[in-house]
Structure 1
């Protein structure tokens, strides 16, 4: 029998040889124990109540919405090892529209919320006649039972679910399920929710809020006792108590009571300042944030840091909280969609780690030497321009090759200095030139003697 594009008959025949995997240390599912024996002492962490805690709700929805808003890109590695976005008819359609009733954002929110709330996300694949995955369905963890055969093969028993096209219970092999899990403390196939660690703090916060609600519903009047100066009969005490509860409690709190016979009212409830109500609520919220690795200021239970660099704050939040969840999703999709080597999925984190406008423009301005103008304009969602595919660099900058060649030449000149050139030889005059030179010197001598003689006669 073929169902959702795969054969389930082999799984049916192996059902007797498979055993279910416990969903926790003691098999708990809807009630968590904060410590061994807590359940027996009525210290219960009820799953549904924990989900209603404001801090726990805020952490889960913040993480799920931040991851869901990241666009899923299909990327391919080229010969240079660079990953660039691409399209593929076998993978792109299901990444763009996972199933018939969910958008990409709704699908990813369901994925992350299931993992945070139950520690496990089960995604059922639906294939076409070619065996290509065409639809993905996030299953309710309550409807999935993990099975392991005697030979170590993993199967999943799925209860009927008409929304995803399962009219009856079926057992499918692990190849048809994407199983994303984390915090596998007790079994490598069973993840654990952060509620296991933060559930008690969530229950404490709820208890404080419920108690405060009842207190203010009672007109903010604390409970107390009526005392008499002497002994009174039990019937009289019961009658006075009933009269007091009827006329001065609940909606009637705050009315004026007239006491006689020496009766005196004394409050028996501790003040909120004495019990440090606000500090306890803040502490419980911070503990919940720590289990999800969410900075408390992200959900409004602590003031934001004085740091003015928005990107640094987002990077801290990404690295300590979101990164492991995002990379796990990418790997699960790569393996679940059976992508070939050199192609994969990538969640676009640019929007998540976006800088403020001033810093972004400064970074793009400094990126002239590594990014083209079109690449920088694309970061601002602007189209390319003519000549924008060129990388610009100032003229005084030199390439690494030119600087290396210059240094090599200087080293060679230092090791092999060039000798100084020899002086030019003195030219030898010809015989005619020498005779003319001697004749000129003789005439000059005769003229000088004649001039000296004339000067002597004149004297």
Structure 2
């Protein structure tokens, strides 16, 4: 593994001499940062516990988190520069920023890095990224830290620091405290403290726990041969030995693998089920409801993870635009801003995710849009949208001849009769250069003819 230089975090210059580490106080995690203590008031007394690790195994939570993370990670990050003349942002390459955006660190590629970033933010509400610098103080590596090994600290003067526990994967052999300038802290849902993000699990944990309980109950039901527990009742009193013998006989012959066999009862014995039937408990409706609650906390349309039906209208771009605007956009722009500030790109440079593939239209709609844009886009720009190379004469915008500028129309309308034909000029037109040459040749020929005579 290549040597990593962390400046100034690991050089010993962490604090001014007048500042003591004791003046730093950890930020209180409050409720819902690392673990969810109570999903609702009184849950602890009723033994209703929401475990974050268990919640992650619920299919709706897993599907929403992996969908969001993979959709963002697959987008290419562009380094763009603002042009003062054209007033547009254009993609460029820069030796100080492009390498780290293309390959953030030595054990993750770009997709793995951003997927790790987004999953950390969705699961804990916080994503901590440690910067690695070279001797020029240029950021050459970015490492997503385990959020459970990071503690924000606030000094008496309001300065922010981060205490990092040892993590060999990112090159931290011991616990260190680094200033905020060495950490990119992406957080959201800061309900209790500006430095403490809150995961959507805080809101969907109870629904996910309910869904897991339904699945476990259903699994146990089918593992038991689709039979429900119950009681054997007799019309009169029976001895304890007889009750024990009947119970053992019933369990040995009519439960588990023997479930479904025909039981012959005598002496007025009857079997009565004690469990609520799946139909009576509305099992499928409850399971669907819990999954929809999870989707709502992540702002993911349920049909994206296979919950409910697909919208009836056939417009792929409209569906993707809705998903982008209500779910992905704030996460994408937060990462862009964190990268701009973390890499110190300045006012004229910045990072931007290429969302073109995410919002891609169907082929028919795409061709219709490009055809309508021919008066504002060059043919080469249109061909670029289709991954086609430029062609000769394709770098100019074409318009039809009947289009006139507003200035020309204003001059026309300024006349007394805008629609009257222009009258010929009363003054003769000035001779052109060709006319002057013809007149000079005529005079020279006349002189020659006069001399011969």
Q: TM bucket by the smaller chain?
A: 0.7 to 0.9
Aligned to 1:94: 100
Deviation at 1:267, TM superposition (A): 1.4
Aligned to 1:335: 341
**One of 387, 412, 416 as aligned partner of 1:381:** 387
In structure 2, do the counterparts of structure 1 residues 237 and 31 end up closer, same or farther at CA, with 3 Å as the change threshold? Answer: farther
Say yes or no: does 1:109 pair with 2:115.
Answer: yes
Say yes or no: does 1:200 pair with 2:206.
Answer: yes
Contact 1:219 1:250 in 2 (8 A): yes
Matches of 1:328 and 1:318, distance apart in 2: 14
Alpha-carbon deviations, 1:77-136, whole Å to 9, x = none? 001321111111111000000000111000000011110110000000000001110000
Aligned to 1:179: 185
In structure 2, do the counterparts of structure 1 residues 265 and 100 end up closer, same or farther at CA, with 3 Å as the change threshold? Answer: same
Q: Which moved more, 1:254-263 or 1:97-106?
A: 254-263
In structure 2, do the counterparts of structure 1 residues 340 and 282 end up closer, same or farther at CA, with 3 Å as the change threshold? Answer: same
Aligned to 1:438: none
Matches of 2:138 and 2:381, distance apart in 1: 35
- 1:62-101 aligned at under 5 Å gives the runs 62-79=67-84, 80-101=86-107
SS of structure 1 residue aligned to 2:414: helix
Contact 1:14 1:149 in 2 (8 A): no
**One of 44, 55, 58 as aligned partner of 1:53:** 58
SS of structure 1 residue aligned to 2:196: coil
SS of structure 2 residue aligned to 1:210: helix
Deviation at 1:236, TM superposition (A): 2.9
Matches of 2:174 and 2:417, distance apart in 1: 82
Say yes or no: does 1:11 pair with 2:11.
Answer: no
SS of structure 1 residue aligned to 2:232: strand
Contact 1:155 1:173 in 2 (8 A): yes
Aligned to 2:197: 191
- 1:275-294 aligned at under 5 Å gives the runs 275-294=281-300
Aligned to 1:454: none
Say yes or no: does 1:347 pair with 2:353.
Answer: yes
Aligned to 1:434: none
Matches of 2:303 and 2:126, distance apart in 1: 27
Aligned to 1:34: 39
Backbone CA RMSD of aligned residues:
2.0
In structure 2, do the counterparts of structure 1 residues 70 and 411 end up closer, same or farther at CA, with 3 Å as the change threshold? Answer: farther
In structure 2, do the counterparts of structure 1 residues 226 and 98 end up closer, same or farther at CA, with 3 Å as the change threshold? Answer: same
- 1:262-301 aligned at under 5 Å gives the runs 262-301=268-307
Deviation at 1:10, TM superposition (A): 4.3
Matches of 1:33 and 1:335, distance apart in 2: 36
Q: Which moved more, 1:319-328 or 1:143-152?
A: 143-152
- 1:313-328 aligned at under 5 Å gives the runs 313-328=319-334
Say yes or no: does 1:226 pair with 2:229.
Answer: no
How many equivalent pairs are there? 413
**One of 283, 306, 316 as aligned partner of 2:312:** 306
Aligned to 1:124: 130
Where structure 1 has 5 or more consecutive residues not aligned to the other structure, the ranges are 415-459
Matches of 2:161 and 2:247, distance apart in 1: 63
Deviation at 1:147, TM superposition (A): 1.1
Contact 2:72 2:328 in 1 (8 A): yes
SS of structure 1 residue aligned to 2:272: strand
Query: Normalization by structure 2: what TM-score?
Result: 0.87
Matches of 1:136 and 1:218, distance apart in 2: 51
Alpha-carbon deviations, 1:395-451, whole Å to 9, x = none? 11112221222223359999xxxxxxxxxxxxxxxxxxxxxxxxxxxxxxxxxxxxx
Alpha-carbon deviations, 1:114-166, whole Å to 9, x = none? 10110000000000001110000001111111111111111111111111111
Where structure 2 has 5 or more consecutive residues not aligned to the other structure, the ranges are 421-453
Deviation at 1:264, TM superposition (A): 1.4
Contact 2:151 2:163 in 1 (8 A): yes
Deviation at 1:218, TM superposition (A): 0.6
